[in-house]
Structure 1
Amino acid sequence: MNRQDSPGLRTLLVGVDGACLPVVEPLVDAGRLPVLGDLLERGASGRLESQIPPWTPSAWPSMYTGTNPGKHGVFDFLAFDGYDWDVVNRTRVRRPALWELLSERGLTSVVVNVPVTAPPTEFDGALVPGYVAPESPPTHPDRLLDDLREALGDYRVYAPDGVDGDEQVAWYERLTEMRGAAFRHLADRFDPEFGFLQFQQTDTVIHERPNDEDALRAVYEAVDEELGVVLDACDPDTVILASDHGVGPYDPAEFRVNEYLRETGFVETTRGEGGMPSWTSLHRERGDEDGDVDTDRGPSLGERLVASAASVGLTSQRIGRVLSALGLDDLVLRVVSTETVRAGTERVDFAASTAYMRSRTELGVRINLRGREPDGTVPPAEYDRVRDALVAELRAARTPDGDPVFSAVEPREAVFDGPHVEDAADVLVVPDGFDTYLTASLRGDTFGPAAESWNHKRHGLVAAAGDAVDPDADLADAHLFDVAPTVLSALGVPPSTEMDGDPLPVVDAVPPADYGDYDDGPTERTDDRRVEARLANLGYLDDT
């Protein structure tokens, strides 16, 4: 069908990762974002409260399913099987995406660059996955990437490895242009009623180039320009913009959760082999960039010396503090192998520990429960007592200034609801104001220099405009879970009764309906070393 003979794009959902009013408003006021400025001016807009945890891999599935992680099953970048882990993918999301519900009602969708959508499911339309997908991801329909690359000349999920400086910023802009071009091409081919176009580089620039105002402005200007071209080409009746979280400055000191748990008697440690695996160790075990592992190589002299030093308490962390004080830490890390550092590194000893933080972006602590974990130490009869003690200790944690580290410390059932709550951490923690960077790494001290000066905040941004949108709607209580029900209502489709959100008052609400059981199928492993490396480079995976 030719687009001139079709009803056209009725609703466009634009995802801008990390967008928030403190970042967007100054750029709009300065006249740098005319398209976003027009959207905010002619429509309704406000803060969008994110979930716990407010991180990309869990928040985007919450947005596109309208459910909390306890229902859809993704709590972090990592999915755990005992003490082993794998980067999450779409098979870990155990609830239907809104485009699948639209497909059931006979509507076509085009979805471009949305995180945690590979491998894609079957539905009426097209999907090109985004963040945490491999560089050449599976698409729906198959081989859609070949079509895009032939039509556009190039299409990538990520920038090439190793780019920095001006070239890095140029790639942010180029990737942003690719998203808009891909969406326009697919919208012309598939003639959708619904479109979902996501921009990721607005978050990447914060992690890779914190405090670089020129780079931040360049990325947002690129997004604004591409959005304008898409709106002109596709002319949607309704535009909804939403982000998964906000961003902002962090305190200069990070809080090392496992160090605190060691001090309070919950964590035991080991050195060298064994214990909690770091992303680099699993990278080595799964192979280098060429897929090869030197399995016959014995420990080097340096590794043996460092391991011997660690056996008498001279660990890599302690050596690192001395080198840092002398200004030599960066130089040494460039010439000393990861294996040598690892030989002297203290790590969480799962088998001996009572509880531990297994991933910092999970925002929680897991109890080493017997019968659930491979080497569980806590008998089921002691679970409640241990968890109560854990909550009390975490609530007592204080910053160097004497302020509480956490604004909330809660058992998981107070935060999540649904059939997958068992996969969550047992105790959830919320840093006060999201001002304190948390890490699961052991570094010898409970507090130390923060790994990042900017990171995620709880409140993102939502905006809506169009003929059917109430520009005076009150969005004071807008929540991430409300986005999917709002999109469905804008299209006249009932939200699912399983959704945790409600349609925002920008559109006329459609009563929910029961869509029946969802066939979520088996899970698949990601096992992509380059994805793991990218997550580590952005600070999402602790490197112990």
Structure 2
Amino acid sequence: MSDETIDTLLIGIDAACAPILDPLFEKDALPNLEAIVEDGASGPLESQIPPWTASAWPSLYTGVNPGKHGVFGFLAYEGYDWDVVNATHVREAALWELLSHHDMSSVVVNVPVTAPPPEIDGAVVPGYTAPENPACHPDGLLSEVHEEIGEYRVYPDPEREQPGEYVDLVRMRGAAFRYLADRFEPEFGFVQFQQTDSVFHEHPDRQDYVEEIYRAVDEEIGTLLEECDPDTVVVASDHGMGPYEKYELRVNEFLDEKGYVETTTGGSGMPAWLPMLNSQLREGEEARAPSPGLAGRAIGAAARVGITPARAGKALRAAGLEGLVKRVVPADARRAGNEQVDFAESTAYMRSRIELGLRMNVEGREPEGKIPEPEYESVREEIIEVLSAVETPDGEAMFEAVGPREEYFWGPHADEGVDVVMVPNEFEQFLSADFKGEVFGPPTEPYNHKLDGMVAIAGEGVDSDADLSGAHLFDVAPTLCAALGVPRSDRMDGDVLGAVGPTDEYDYPEFDGTVRETDDEEIEDRLSALGYLEGNE
């Protein structure tokens, strides 16, 4: 490394939170991360609604809510069509763009929703929602990284054994960042580790895997601190992680019973992340709602006379044979036979569970809208009332809150979000967009996202005794501005945390908000194994 040091280093650890970290601290498994927490100011970091990767990281690195930056999940919707989000869907300036405006350079590695990268002073190697081997900034940078550190991948290779493959990815992030920090000598650095989240989705019962991956991250943190020698270091997560031990509500199944959803069978339905992750993003196939094929058409025909995989699955579960369907019948074929939402004929529906809400089918807005515009508010109020009353089979409230999107999103793109927001009770109740033959069931995933992540700030000029209670995801970007000594954007929704000094606001120029379609040839498949989008399987 050169003699130059990074002014401020942001380390993003996806899903990190006290319930995950504290047991590892007690085992002295994470000495470097624990030292940052103990030597600096730290506390819980409340995430946003919805607390999921594709929307939360843009909120963190812009300092604004989704209604201002425009990303609400992994998919963006126009009518009944969809597109995987990319950096052009983020219609607010990222921190590194603001810094470039102030003639300060940045190195950004593996941050979600940063492809295609902007032209800034510094370097960007994109993370999640980028294709494998993504275009980087400057052009040709990825080849340079390969030459310097060897293999570098955005996504895990499913042919390699876990947790070793995840550990390798963690080490690639650290090695790439250190090389680029030496090469560009930036004032600001941001490196993100995603596998600390992925392990819970893919291997929820393997605490030994969790520990090994966190140990690898901690080793990289130690090396980063030693070689990059930042004046200030900030560690932050986009949300928390924990067990889901209550119930799963199949929202569209419930809405079907209440008369708000119309269903169909025999089509391809919504895209499922698993086939996308396993082939399209790696192999370069076109990303689209897949064709059901011959087997799917046969199952679709059976469905039209009442024999659906959902009904068959209920009987197979009772006989302990549910796995037989998944092994023998292709996923696309199962989707074709299952009930799916008929978006054009429905009043309201859950499009994606991670949006935590419903989209309504409004005349003049959707291509075949069913709700007359003058009746929008009354229908929405009715739906909110119906959902607010939902109780689990144990008699507990399903939702902590149900309300209009205006209570959660504000800004020029708020109307691109869901119409009705649903917040699960204590984030212990799971929501599903799938039809499974019953309204309630056990959670599809035993671990999933929680609202509270974590933040820690240490280094020169940091008040280690500062009270960070009440810290919010939106506060991270303005706090980093203050640490770097630059004025925060006047459009930021967050505040500067008390661990660093206050800063002035600045009327930043509007950035180009043109959205470009995602290069569908390589994207969606990589995301599916995490269950971020259901395909009625």
Q: TM class, shorter-chain normalised? A: over 0.9
Q: Matched residues in 2 for 1:87 and 1:247: separation?
A: 24
Taking a change above 3 Å as real, the CA distance of residues 155 and 359 of structure 1, as seen in their structure-2 partners, is same
Q: Contact 2:271 / 2:534 at 8 angstroms: preserved in 1?
A: no
How many angstroms apart in 2 are the aligned matches of 1:218 and 1:76?
A: 29
Indicate whether 1:494 and 2:493 are aligned: no
Q: Which residue of 1 aligns with 2:178?
A: 184
- Output aligned runs, 1:497-516, within 5 Å: 497-516=490-509
Whether the aligned pair in 1 keeps the contact of 2:132 and 2:281 (CA below 8 Å) is no
User: Could you list the per-position Cα deviations for residues 87-121 of structure 1 after superposition, in whole angstroms to 9, with x for gaps in the alignment?
Assistant: 11101000000111111111111111111000000
Aligned residue in 2 for 1:345: 338
1: CA distance between counterparts of 2:278 and 2:232?
Answer: 48
Distance in 2 (alpha carbons) for counterparts of 1:282 and 1:131: 14
90, 93, 106: which is aligned to 1:93?
A: 90
2:8 aligned with 1:3: no
- What is the CA–CA distance in structure 2 between the aligned matches of 1:415 and 1:214, rounded to whole Å? 37
Identity %: 55
Match 1:316 to one of 304, 309, 317: 309
Partner of 1:525: 518
Contact between 1:276 and 1:349, CA under 8 Å: does it hold in 2? Answer: no
Could you tell me how far 1:343 is from its partner in structure 2? 3.6
Correspondence for 2:202 among 205, 208, 225: 208
- Residue 129 of structure 2 aligns to which amino acid in structure 1? V
Relative to structure 1, the CA distance from residue 385 to residue 256 in structure 2 (aligned partners, 3 Å threshold; closer, same or farther) is same
After superposition, residues 115-514 of structure 1 pair within 5 angstroms as 115-163=112-160, 167-273=161-267, 289=283, 291=285, 300=294, 303=296, 305-514=298-507
Q: Over aligned residue pairs, what C-alpha RMSD do you find?
A: 2.1
Query: In 2, distance between residues paired with 1:403 and 1:108?
Result: 51
When residues 126 and 284 of structure 1 are mapped into structure 2, their CA distance, relative to the original with a 3 A threshold, is closer
Distance 1:162-1:379 versus aligned 2 partners, 3 A rule = farther
Q: Mark the runs of 5 or more structure 2 residues left unpaired by the alignment.
A: none
Q: How many residues align?
A: 533
Cα deviation for residue 521 of structure 1 reads 2.8
Asked whether 1:15 is paired with 2:8, we answer no
Query: Which stretches of structure 1, 4 residues or longer, exceed 6 Å deviation after superposition?
Result: 280-288
Unaligned segments of structure 1, at least 5 residues: none
Report how far residue 290 of structure 1 moved.
6.7
Name the aligned partner's letter for residue 23 of structure 1.
I
* AA partner of residue 532 (structure 1): E
Q: Do 1:86 and 1:526's aligned partners in 2 also have CA atoms closer than 8 Å?
A: no
Name 2:533's counterpart in structure 1: 541
- Contact 2:16/2:240 (8 A) holds in 1: yes
Which secondary structure does the structure 1 equivalent of 2:488 belong to?
A: coil
1:333 shift after superposition = 1.6
C-alpha distance 516-156 of structure 1, shift in aligned 2 (>3 A): same
Kindly provide the amino acid, as one letter, of the partner of residue 306 in structure 2.
G
- Is the deviation greater in 79-88 or in 67-76? 79-88
AA aligned opposite 1:24: L
Deviations 1:301-321 (A, max 9, x none): x55553343222222210111
Amino acid across the alignment from 1:3 = S
* Structure 2 residue 41 is the aligned partner of structure 1 residue 44: yes
Deviations 1:194-232 (A, max 9, x none): 100111110011111102110000010000000000100
Q: Is contact 2:285-2:521 (8 Å) kept? A: no
SS in 1 for 2:186: coil
TM-fit CA distance, 1:253: 2.8
